[in-house]
Amino acid sequence: MFNTTVPPTENPFLTITWNIDNKPIIASTSSTNNTAPGYEGRITLFISTGSLELRNLALSDSGEYRVTIVTQEASQLIGSIRLEVLEPVSNVVATANDTDLVEYNNSVRLSCSSSGSSLSFLWLNSSSEVTASDRVQLTDGNSTLTIVSVTRYDQGPFICKVSNPVSTAGGSVNLSISYGPENIKLIISLPQEHHEEGSNIVLSCSADSRPAALFYWFLNGDKMPDTGPELKLMNIQMNHSGNYSCQAFNEKTLRYETSQSSAVSVQARVANVVVTPNTTDLVEFNNSVRLSCSSSGSSRSFLWLNSSSEVTASDRVQLTDGDSTLTIVSVTRYDQGPFMCNVSNPVSTDTSGSVLLSISYGPENIKLIISPPQEHHEEGSNIVLSCSADSRPAALFYWFLNGDKLSDTGPELKLPNIQMSQGGNYSCRAFNEKTLRYETSQSSVVSVQAGPDITSSCSAGCIAGIVIACLVVCGAAAGGGGYYIYRKKKMAKTPIDRNTATITGRAGQDNTAYPGNQDVNYADIKFFQNRDGGRVQVGTQNDMSSQYAEVRMNSARAAGSSPPTYNAYMQQSKRLAPQPTGTQVYAEVRKN
């Protein structure tokens, strides 16, 4: 519709003429209308304004339209306008010279064709506009797109958008770009450093690749028959241990990539832990022992326990053969155990049964105890001497009186209804039949006192005088008994040698090595016999002082000496001088 700016008039114009590019379309006067061929039925002229309607436009209708109007007043009105008739966009087609491409290896050219007029071309990669760059070229009015060294991101879809002022249309094309493999990854199910024998393991391999890669498997660099993205190792055994890797291969790109190796460590479970000693019957300080630990399993570590304490190497303790052998030099009683061997590996642990060592020791720390514990014991009372010692096995005990071995054995020596003749120095000896060692106790004095005599009242001085007188009389008579008098001397206690041998007979032995304080001492004689065999009481009945009958023997003797003989003793007694008043005087009467 071509509209003029002339207002409508009631008086018709003299003429109205329309031309296109100086070619007549229609000419109208007050009496006639002349329409050019090709416009019949397609145009309408409005004579009141001079406007022209053109229908069923064709491309040939494009051009410069000019209108000339002559009014009744003979004035001329001229107007012109440019008309461009466009064909709508249609049949848009995008094509590629190749759609099967390899990344970095190939280039591609995309062409866009379309029907229509005054066309404009725009390329899109998916929804993003494609613009020219180092790798991208746009030619032929942007209808041709060239991509050099395609990448995986150039696969499209590429869309060609065609437009003109009256319409828009588009077409698309997809590229198949092969790439990879790359970014290969090897994953082991149950991601742990060690795997127990008999377990199941799955190794998975993946890689970025188009098309999907083929996978091959390698163990310690040797190709395995297995293929595919998964390698299943069922009921895995020790020979499956090693370094696994996978290789991805792309049949389109002809490229491959190999993963880093992953170690698979298969461990046999620890079992059957046994400790074997070379001996179990040992003597303290005399013997050494070797304990050997054995077990099934792999990659084993050994730990020794003495009871609940860990055994570590020291001067006496040796750990060899990967700690599976424990050697103890010069065993002590504290090495008896129980010993256990703990064996472990990364997948399991097990402990042996306990092993006990029988370690004999002692005797030592011998003790002699007298019960009841008193300095003097009344004649007729009961005494028990107990001997003990640290020893394994239990020691055998022997008893000695004044160094002479008694017939009694055992840890107790019972002296019921004790008599004065049983007084003296007692000791015990412990003997271990395993260690063949013995230890002797220090001697303990058993002092036996006579009970009180109500018929006697003579004092100690009285008794001493009577005894001296009796000795003089008896010496002059030369008849019955020998008498001697001496002063009692305090005896020094001397420890008995722990390892001395049993003392045997004494009669007729040398006395020269014995000092005076080792003499046998006797005291408090209440009765003696005269020549006729009569019994004479010494002292008065009113003297209620205590009376003693005591035998003391100092157990310490000079080396290589024996107790004095009777004759030697008598010679020594004659040399003793009378003692001053106040000292205790003792006497003995022996019948000749």
**Domains, the chain, ordered by start:** 15-83 (2.60.40.10), 90-174 (2.60.40.10), 181-267 (2.60.40.10), 271-357 (2.60.40.10), 361-449 (2.60.40.10)
Residue found under tokens 């002339």: 6
Torsion of Cα atoms, 555 then 559 then 561 then 563, to 10°: -10
Question: Residue 173 pairs with which residues in a beta bridge?
Answer: 158
- 342: tokens are 């703990």
Residue type, 108: V
Question: Residue 306 pairs with which residues in a beta bridge?
Answer: 309, 339
HEC profile of 352-367: CCCECCEEEEEEEEEE
CB 424 within 8 A of CB 553: yes
The C-alpha atoms of residue 109 and residue 136 are separated, in whole angstroms, by: 10
Could you tell me the maximum CA-CA distance found in the chain, to the nearest angstrom? 220
Residue type, 143: S
Q: List, run by run, the mean pLDDT of 10-residue segments along the chain (592 residues).
A: 85 88 87 86 87 88 90 86 90 94 96 92 93 94 95 93 93 95 94 91 96 97 96 94 97 96 94 96 96 95 95 96 96 94 95 96 96 93 97 97 95 96 96 96 94 53 51 42 34 37 35 38 40 43 38 39 42 41 40 40
pLDDT at 466: 52
CB 523 within 8 A of CB 491: no
Main-chain phi, psi angles of 475, to 5 degrees: -65, -40
CB 178 within 8 A of CB 103: yes
CB 95 within 8 A of CB 172: no
- 388: tokens are 């003990």
pLDDT at 461: 53
CB 564 within 8 A of CB 553: no
Those residues whose C-beta lies under 8 Å from the C-beta of residue 457, and which sit 6 or more positions away, are: 539, 540, 541, 542, 543, 544
Question: Residue 392 pairs with which residues in a beta bridge?
Answer: 361
Nearest-5° angle of CA 522, CA 528, CA 533?
Answer: 145
- Number of Cβ within a 10 Å radius of residue 399: 21
The C-alpha atoms of residue 538 and residue 284 are separated, in whole angstroms, by: 61
pLDDT at 325: 98
